[in-house]
Amino acid sequence: MKNISIIAAIGKNNELGKGNQLLWHIPGDMKRFKRITSGHMVIMGRKTFHSINNKPLSNRRNIVLTRDTSLYFPNVGIVHSVDEALELVKSESEVFILGGATVYEQFLPFTHRMYLTRVHRGYNADAFFPVYDESNWYVIERKDIVDDKQAGVDYSFVTLKRRK
């Protein structure tokens, strides 16, 4: 599908998080995330939704993917399968997959674009971004951030597009 995008911040070894928490605090990444996803539908797994205190992200249509059929959150859509999610997003211009690791892995085959923040160091993690074949993707934008005093770590904003 041409409208599915992944957005993620990942460490040098594809780290995403530990204990359902991010491994870093990068204000510039958070600003970019908000700017890119605002006004769009976002899809995330139940654990990711719990990690943002079970509150929908503002100015976005929030969808939670979960196997739990009894789950309900006010002002949040619930889907129980990738197929159900794909059906729901057919008419959207761009939909963002927010994670976690399993959700990224499930949506990767349908993803057309990835907005990655590549953090330039390794971390102790228990959740990892799925390995993908880099030859299937090309960089359409890259911005390297060095000496970010607030973040205390160097990183790059990299936007990838799937090859035809």
Distance CA 143, CA 63 (A): 30
pLDDT at 1 over 80: no
State mean pLDDT over 119-140.
Answer: 96
Residues 86, 110 contacting (CB under 8 angstroms):
yes
Residue 96 to residues 37, 61, 85, 138, 164, Cα–Cα distance (Å): 7, 10, 12, 19, 20
Tens digit of each residue's pLDDT (9 = 90 or more) over 50-88: 999 999 999 999 999 999 999 899 999 999 999 999 999
**CATH at residue 32:** 3.40.430.10
The pTM of the full predicted model, rounded to 2 decimals, is: 0.95
Query: Closest by alpha carbon to 102, among 68, 157, 65, 57?
Result: 65
Q: How many domains does the chain contain in total?
A: 1
Domain enclosing residue 70, as ranges = 4-162
Tens digit of each residue's pLDDT (9 = 90 or more) over 110-128: 999 999 999 999 999 999 9
